[in-house]
Every structure is written in C-alpha cells, then in structure tokens.
Amino acid sequence: MDTHLLIVVPCYNEEAVLPETNHRLSALIQRLEKEERIAEGHILYVDDGSRDRTWALVESFASEGFPVRGLKLAHNVGHQHALWAGLEYAASHADIAISIDADLQDDVEVIPQMVDYYHQGIDIVYGVRKERRTDTFFKKHTALAFYRLMKEMGGEIVYNHADFRLMSRRTLQALMQYPERNLFLRGMVCSLGFPSAMVYYDRQKRMAGESKYPFKKMLSFAIDGITSFSVRPLRYIVLIGLLMIFITLVAIIYGIISYAKGDTIPGWTSLLVSTWFIGGVVITSVGIIGEYVGKIYTEVKRRPLYLVEQVLEEKDTEM
Ligand code: UDP
Ligand code: MG
C-alpha cells in the first residue's frame, strides 16, 4: 500500500495553538505510518496571510524534521479560500486529503477511522459532530436554524458537518472542476456524489487563541452558503406575487359585499382592490426577472455538467 496522506490545516494568526497542533498531528501521522494504514503522511499548513508568528512556526517545524509542508498565502483570503488552496495542492500531491481546523476542535482520534473507510473504497468521509455541548446556547441554535433554512432552500449539506473531512484524490480532482469563486465547500463536496461515509465525534473547545469567526462573519457565511447554492429565494418572489394577486380576488369579493351593504365610503372599494392588484403585479414581475437572473447565475458559475465516478470498458486487447 503506498497511500500518501496530506492533512490540510488552514491557519490564520494561530501561533497560540500551532505547536500543540503540530505535536498531535505529527504523532498521529507517525502512528498511521507505523500501523501501515498509510505509506507516508504530511501536514500541509496553509498560512492565510497571518500577521503573527504562524509562518515562522511552520518553517521551524519543517526544519526540526516534522513531516510538514507549508503554503503561505500572500494575504488573508478567508477560511474557505485558504482551504481551497490546500485542497488544490493536495489534488496533485496526495492520494487522500483530510482537512481540519488549526485549533483541533475536531477530534483527531477519528482520523484512523476515516483512513480505514478510504481503504474500503469510500471516497469522502464526513466528520460529524455528535452534539454541541461545548457550544454556547446561541451558537448551537443559530447553527441549527441555518441547517434547516439551508435544507429548505434546496442546498444539500450534511447535518452538523463542518469542514473536517477526508477526500480521495479523484474527488479532489472532481472538486477542482468547479470554477466558481463563491466557495461554500461543505455544500459543494456534498453535491459531488461519490461513495461517502460519516464518522462521529465530540467537538472540543478551542485549545487556545480566539475564534476567527465572530457572529458577523458567521452570518455572512450563512448568507453566502444559501445564496451560492440556491436560486430558490428568487423563485419565492413569484409565489409571493401570485399570492398577492389571489388576495386581490378576496378583496374584490369583500369590497363588493361591503358596497352592497352600503357601509363604504365612495372610492374605497376601487382603491382597496387596485392597491392589492398593483402590488401583486409588481412583485410577480420582479419575480419573473428573478427567474432570469437565477438562470444567468447558474450559467455564470460554469459548474461541470457531470462528474464520472467510474468507467467500465473491456480490457485493452494487446495486438
Ligand atoms: N481561518 C483562516 N482564515 C480566516 C479565518 C480563519 O484560515 O480568515 C482558519 C483558522 O485558523 C482555523 C479555521 O479557519 O483553522 C477555523 O477558524 P476558527 O476556529 O476561528 O472558527 P470557529 O471554530 O470558531 O468557527
Ligand atoms: Mg475553531
């Protein structure tokens, strides 16, 4: 077995956690090599334009003989893009890539299990959080609401899975065919298909340092997730417009009855009806424009039309 593993770790100002992270991941790689689950393993640190000693630490790990490689990005591009940089490297340098956050909130102890799945022919292994005991009440519930909304909007994602996952080389190469610039990796990976499995773990508290995802960033990440995956919000506009027009019918009936009873001021009925009607027509029109914008949006993304998982052909017969 000559499997080469790359553990991809995006890092932004992570000097506080990196030595411990490096220690644990190196030990894990050593163990995996010894148990012959992999032939060789490396940690790939992607320094996302840190302003602290992160890159200096990465360099020192490498010179101390740890199985470490590094990608230093020229400026801060955010977690998703930094991760993409690492995965793109992995697609051409490794057989399997495992992505994990630098703070090791995700349990490295399930990594051997992920690798075992790979050897059983599974291409994508999702790390899934069992429960969110360590999260604040607020974070837990906003996250839950997000998963629900995402599902409602037709986005495919694995419940309670962030970006801790194993991907095989062929799925990495498939992912690299997605040329879009708005990345929501956990959704994109799900939409790839390929045989997949899940491993479960408890998420820990951050070892040290501060979260790089304050509420504002989380919110914009959630909005990004929905809008970069679905045109359904646009479609709903048409429905609202049609609903308004339907209400117009009710208003007409109500208006006529009131008029017949004689308890209306002159002009009230026509005003009532036309207000609803104009509202309905305007919103429906906006929705129709939205339909076209949605089409343009999906065209512009230029996603691959299909991904081949396997080709079955008769063996080449030698001449
Ligand atoms: N990160 C990054 N670039 C950024 C922000 C964060 O590469 O602009 C990395 C960070 O170093 C960490 C991961 O993304 O490895 C997740 O960040 P964090 O742990 O702060 O997020 P949380 O777990 O609080 O959601
Ligand atoms: Mg974290």
* Distance, CA of 219 to CA of 211 (rounded, Å): 14
CA 151 / ligand 1 centre spacing (Å)? 24
Q: For 69-77, what is the mean pLDDT?
A: 91
Task: Please state the atom number of ligand 1 nearest to the C-alpha of residue 13.
Answer: 11
pLDDT band at residue 132 using 50, 70 and 90 as cut-offs: low
pLDDT band at residue 10 using 50, 70 and 90 as cut-offs: very high
| Least confident span in 37-46, 149-158, 242-251, 292-301 | 149-158
pLDDT at 127: 93
Question: 207, 104 in Cβ contact below 8 A?
Answer: yes
* Distance, CA of 18 to CA of 61 (rounded, Å): 10
pLDDT at 155: 72
Pocket around ligand 1: residues whose beta carbon is below 6 Å from it?
A: 10-12, 14, 48, 76, 78-79, 82, 101-103, 105, 211-213
Amino acid identity of 168? S
Q: For 103-107, what is the mean pLDDT?
A: 90
> Quick check: pTM over 0.75?
yes
Amino acid identity of 1? M
CA 43 / ligand 2 centre spacing (Å)? 18
**Which residue's alpha carbon is nearest to atom 11 within ligand 1?**
11
pLDDT band at residue 90 using 50, 70 and 90 as cut-offs: very high
Share of the chain above pLDDT 90, in %: 47
Pick the CATH number of 4-229+305-317 from 3.90.550.10, 3.40.50.720, 1.20.1260.10, 3.30.830.10: 3.90.550.10
Q: Which of 11, 12, 43, 139 to mutate to test the pocket of ligand 1 (most atoms within 8 A of CB)?
A: 12
Question: 82, 12 in Cβ contact below 8 A?
Answer: yes
Q: Which of 212, 218, 221, 224 to mutate to test the pocket of ligand 1 (most atoms within 8 A of CB)?
A: 212
pLDDT at 319 over 80: no
Task: Please state the atom number of ligand 1 nearest to the C-alpha of residue 11.
Answer: 11
Question: In terms of C-beta density within 10 A (0-12 exposed, 13-18 middle, 19 or more buried), how is residue 150 classed?
Answer: buried
Ligand number, closest to the Cα atom of 163: 1
CA 50 / ligand 2 centre spacing (Å)? 16
Ligand number, closest to the Cα atom of 100: 1
Q: What is the mean pLDDT of the chain?
A: 87
Share of the chain above pLDDT 70, in %: 96
Task: Please state the atom number of ligand 1 nearest to the C-alpha of residue 82.
Answer: 7
Task: Please state the atom number of ligand 1 nearest to the C-alpha of residue 210.
Answer: 20
Q: For 196-223, what is the mean pLDDT?
A: 82
pLDDT at 256: 84
